[in-house]
Amino acid sequence: MRHTYLLLLFCTIAISALGQNGAVKLNASNTDSYVDAGYNDDYLTEGSYTYQAWIYLEAANTNGYIMATEDDQKGFSFRMSTNDAVEFVHGIPGWHTINSGEVTVPLKTWTHVAATYDGTDLVLLMNGDSVTSNQPAEPMITSTQNLIIGEGATWKERRFTGIIDNVQIWSEARSETAIKESLFEEPAGTETGLIAAWLFNEVSGSTASSAGGAYAATLGNSVTRVSLKEDFSLVFDKSQTPSLVDFGVNASLSPAAPFTIEAMVCPFENNNGYIVSGENGTDGPNGITLRMAGTYGVDFYFGGSGNWNLINSGDNALDSGKWSHVVGTYAEDTLRLYINGSEMAKAYNTNAVGVSTTAFTVGEGSEYRDRGFTGKIDNVRLWNTAIKSGEVLLLKDTIIEEASDDLIAAWAFNEGAGNTTTDVAQVYTGTLSNVTWVQNGYYVTQSTDTENQAPQASATVDIEDGVIGQTFTFDASGSSDRDGDPLTYTWDFGDGNSESGESVSHAYDTEGEYEVVLMVSDGEASSTASLSVSVSVNQNPIAAFTSSATSGFLVLTVDFDASTTVDPEGHELSYDWDFGDGNTGEGVQVTHSFEQVGTFDVVLTVSDSYGGSATESTTVGVLEEQVTLSTDSQVGLQVYPNPVNNFVKIEGLEGAFTYSIIGMDGRVYLSQDTQQTSLNISHLPKGMYLIEISNDKVNISQKVLKQ
């Protein structure tokens, strides 16, 4: 989308006197984005020192150097650290470091950083307040490197991303009071103890002079000069009734849906004070309102169709003494309330907005003049469109200075003095009553009209090689849009099918190589990303298992283990067991107890999720408890081994005898007279058999298992 804006840089401390009107903008992605102040012995004051600067961090920037002379454990470096903490490194053997820890630099907010050393204590300060301190073992060792602003003196790849201003070097450890009292002052260059101060107030050119004219620095080709402009806001005091800005009655300030109403607010106390109001209850209800409610909560509502249509953020949505961005939108029959970019509430509604017949006001109710706001208000804007959720956070850090078709009115309150204020188009002028101006910060005036930038498409897939029927999951969450526009995602799977969504799934029904193309669009511009997936015919798994026994006596317990089963594609498998005795089981490893005599075929079936399967089997024989056969005339008759593979031996029997080998189905396989005590049954099928032996002295039978 096309945006017209000026970037607002909120300062974390109220400004009483602001002299800065220039700064340098640095970009870590460019190798020549730095300022080189050259080499000078004066920069390295070994006994005591102060290094300080204003910084505006535009993106998380671990190891981004603010200024440095570091070289082989000599000199110093002032840099960003993990999680946007600040770190100062004092050059002695082993490096001595001090880190702000949990006290971090907020993004897109001016922050003053300083490090002081008095010969004993090293102190790190942010916005004039001491954050932490420690004691180096010895004074700093002098470096021979140039002083570099915006990147490391030795570590050239460690660059800062953002804006740096008012870089100062002192030959003394400045006190916390001295730093805080001069935060917003530009030194003249003649101050006692001041070595150098680069204010970057030159309008153009590739050099920057230190205050007083000495120590010229050279700007890299990718350094951008930016101009700074003072920013003001209005302070309202409920006790000074009425404390408000009155814009009078104007039907244009009661727009029909869709619309957006927004404001920056910094409450000083909890009350039901009105932030922006156009409500009219007497002749309505009509008009639009944002107000505080509950305990630091916010109401957003409008009057129309005989009703007040209201949503509430809940308690503690605002913080006392801190700025918050409050936005209300109404479109497509839905009210939405955002605070600092997060949607706090929404509600379905079909009513039309009623046109108010009372004045449009800021800081006080339009009809009820006893419900004033106490605190600061800035950047009140009214739009004839509903700002999308992806753009709401972008508005938080912008000042609008040009009219546009979507903008009804935008009040930046940057006049700084007087009893009137007007919008950027100078159409809607308001009168101030019991309201004061306060300098709130400063902002960059360099950028104006920016063209829409195409989004950046990024596509990933959970697997690159799969089989027919397998689900591939595609993800575009890594895509981004520099303008903050909401994005749409369209996937072409390369097989004639497509789908929309940030994360989608797809299965292919034909083998082949497919190029998958993602197109990401912000509504005006688009970009693509592609990746390849390979689809093959599924291969059956290879079933295999072992068993702890294949035969034994009743009751026989056997452990089965299929962990040697493999799947060629590495798919997950299911394991189903049939033990042949009417029982089944599941799992890679199972245990089963056979409680019947007989021969059982144990079958394992393994399956994947894509139609592939395989089986493997084994036979388990179960016998009754082995006994020693005996008669009155023949003691110690034995038939063995049992189970048997090839030969059954008969021991303890004398003379000729008759034997028969009978299957469990009653079939007689062998029957003959013999004196041989070794019977060959190797030719018989595996299974259970009954051997009957008889002569004139004995008549016995014995079950044996042929393996």
pLDDT, tens only, 616-673:
999 888 877 654 444 444 456 788 888 888 899 988 888 888 888 988 777 888 888 8
Residue 392 carries which DSSP code? H
The Cα–Cα gap between 244 and 601 comes to 93
Contact between 222 and 234 under an 8 Å Cβ cutoff? The reply is no
pLDDT at position 445 = 60
* Residue type present at position 33: S
Whether the link from the prior residue into 285 is cis, omega within 30° of 0, is yes
pTM passes above 0.75: no
414 conformational bin, left if phi > 0, alpha if psi -120 to 50, beta if neither: alpha
Burial of 19 by CB count in 10 Å (0-12 exposed, 13-18 middle, 19+ buried)? middle
Half-sphere exposure of 159 (CA within 13 A, CB side): 19
pLDDT at position 5 = 37
Beta carbons within 10 angstroms of residue 352's beta carbon: 12
Q: Which residues of the chain have pLDDT under 50?
A: 1-20, 446-450, 627-634
CA nearest neighbour of 409 among 245, 295, 597, 272: 245
pLDDT at position 6 = 37
User: Three-class SS string for 426-446?
Assistant: CCCEEEEECEEEEEEEEEECC
The Cα–Cα gap between 403 and 424 comes to 6
User: Three-class SS string for 489-539?
Assistant: EEEECCCCCEEECCEEEEECCCCEEEEEEEEEECCCCEEEEEEEEEEECCC
Contact between 594 and 624 under an 8 Å Cβ cutoff? The reply is no
pLDDT at position 2 = 36
Record the tokens describing residue 177, joined without a space.
């009071």
pLDDT at position 441 = 64
pLDDT at position 150 = 96
pLDDT digit string (tens) for 304-362?
Answer: 878 889 999 999 999 999 999 999 999 988 999 999 989 999 998 888 888 888 999 99
Contact between 560 and 569 under an 8 Å Cβ cutoff? The reply is no
- CATH numbers and ranges of domains, the chain: 20-230 (2.60.120.200), 238-433 (2.60.120.200), 460-535 (2.60.40.10), 546-623 (2.60.40.10), 629-706 (2.60.40.3080)
pLDDT at position 625 = 62
